[in-house]
């Protein structure tokens, strides 16, 4: 690949929609990876050494050790909402603006939370394995008896935009909704979501379906561990579409193995892409590979937003110098590059 001398260079860490990347190519010299793979900090430093900006996946790490080798870097666009892969303080200190893609995936992720709730309660994936294995010998009144979803209590831990979108869907299932959040929502939002604020212990004790939609932070790490699982009902289900690490996977395996809760639906894991072998062996858990936002329309919208953020952060386009979704607003956009 030949590089022009004057155009800023951009790195895209994972494959993206080519027609959307064409918008980047109007302004920049763009290097796109062909493989969707994990990157070490050392590899990140090497890839970003001569780049002005990058579009990254939410597992691609950028911290002070990486930034020490990136003299030209001025902007990072995370292709997703979460940004626990980024050290925001280090980025701000280095004058690098960071952005994410909020809002655009809320409804799609909320849909998927319900997919996991229904699949887990009604043993959908277990039933499919049973059928594919040739074990189904005809209609039986007693096989694969699951739990109902309608009329049961939906509990949401973390009531941001995604949590609210999940709550709004509960009306069709005639489910009472309770939630806990760092701060109570405005009354109008509670009314719109038909959701009642409770303390965390009440949430754990009353929810038939406990859905986690908290961000991954130092405070939320293992926010559901052995003690929290012990407070849940024996016929309750845990649904995690947040981040791996907000649940203590080992404690959850123990609770599921001993039937201390009825089941779990998990889209995220502590050490992705590794899943604990003991968890893989359990029938009362539905496992999906971090796909909650994976509708074609939403992933295209996320890619487009990341591209728009990067173009603006690097001083081009209608929002030049004002990226719509900056997450470290205290950073300077003045780093030379």
Strand 29-32 and strand 53-56: the pairing is unpaired
Containing 131, the helix (H) or strand (E) segment is helix 124-132
Asked, colleague to colleague, whether 9-104+296-313 and 106-287 share their fold, the answer is yes
For the chain, which residues make up each domain, given as ranges? 9-104+296-313, 106-287
Residue 266 DSSP code: E
Q: Is 309 helix (H, G, I), strand (E, B) or coil?
A: helix
The topology under which CATH files domain 106-287 is Rossmann fold (3.40.50)
Band the pLDDT of 5: cuts 50, 70, 90. Answer: low
| Angstrom distances, CA of residue 140 to CA of 6, 79, 123 | 71, 47, 15
Distance separating the N- and C-terminal Cα atoms of the chain? 21
Superfamily of structural domain 9-104+296-313? NAD(P)-binding Rossmann-like Domain (3.40.50.720)
Band the pLDDT of 337: cuts 50, 70, 90. Answer: very low
Band the pLDDT of 330: cuts 50, 70, 90. Answer: low
Residues acting as catalytic residues: 243, 272, 290
Phi, psi of 142, rounded to the nearest 5 degrees: -115, 0
Across the chain, the runs of DSSP E, i.e. the strands, are: 9-12, 29-32, 53-56, 75-78, 97-99, 154-157, 177-180, 195-197, 209-212, 237-240, 263-266, 285-287
Task: Convert the pLDDT of each residue in 277-291 to its tens digit.
Answer: 999 999 999 999 999
**Section 58-81 average pLDDT:** 96
Q: Is 10 helix (H, G, I), strand (E, B) or coil?
A: strand
The pLDDT of residue 335 is above 50: no
**Section 222-250 average pLDDT:** 97
**pTM of this structure:** 0.90
Band the pLDDT of 6: cuts 50, 70, 90. Answer: confident
Residues 6+ apart with CB under 8 A from 242: 158, 212, 213, 214, 215, 216, 220, 268
């Amino acid at each position: 690949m030949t590089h022009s001398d004057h155009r800023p260079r951009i790195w895209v860490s994972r494959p993206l929609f080519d027609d959307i990347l064409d918008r980047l190519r109007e302004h920049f010299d763009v290097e796109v990876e062909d493989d969707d793979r994990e990157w070490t900090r050392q590899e990140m430093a090497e890839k970003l050494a001569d780049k002005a900006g990058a579009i990254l996946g939410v597992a691609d790490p950028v911290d002070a050790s990486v930034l020490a080798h990136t003299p030209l870097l001025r902007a990072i666009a995370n292709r997703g909402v979460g940004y626990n892969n980024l050290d925001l303080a280090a980025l701000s200190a280095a004058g690098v603006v960071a952005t994410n893609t909020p809002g655009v995936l809320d409804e799609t992720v909320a849909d998927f939370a319900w997919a996991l709730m229904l699949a887990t309660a009604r043993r959908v994936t277990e039933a499919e394995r049973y059928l594919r294995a040739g074990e189904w010998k005809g209609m039986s009144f007693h096989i694969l008896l699951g739990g109902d979803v309608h009329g049961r209590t939906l509990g949401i831990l973390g009531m941001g935009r995604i949590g609210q979108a999940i709550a709004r869907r509960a009306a069709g299932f005639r489910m009472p909704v309770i939630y806990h959040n760092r701060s109570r929502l405005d009354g109008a939002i509670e009314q719109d979501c038909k959701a009642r604020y409770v303390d965390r212990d009440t949430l754990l004790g009353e929810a038939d379906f406990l859905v986690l939609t908290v961000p991954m932070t130092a405070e939320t790490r293992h926010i559901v561990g052995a003690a929290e699982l012990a407070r849940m009902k024996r016929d309750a289900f845990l649904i995690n579409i947040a981040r791996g690490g907000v649940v203590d996977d080992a404690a959850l395996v123990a609770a599921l193995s001993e039937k201390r809760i009825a089941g779990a639906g998990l889209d995220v894991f502590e050490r992705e892409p590794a899943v604990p072998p003991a968890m893989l062996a359990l029938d009362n858990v539905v496992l999906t590979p971090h796909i909650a936002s994976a509708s074609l329309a939403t992933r295209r919208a996320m890619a487009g937003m990341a591209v728009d953020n990067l173009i603006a952060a690097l001083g081009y386009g209608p929002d030049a110098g004002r990226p719509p979704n900056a997450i470290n607003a205290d950073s300077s956009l003045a780093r030379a590059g």
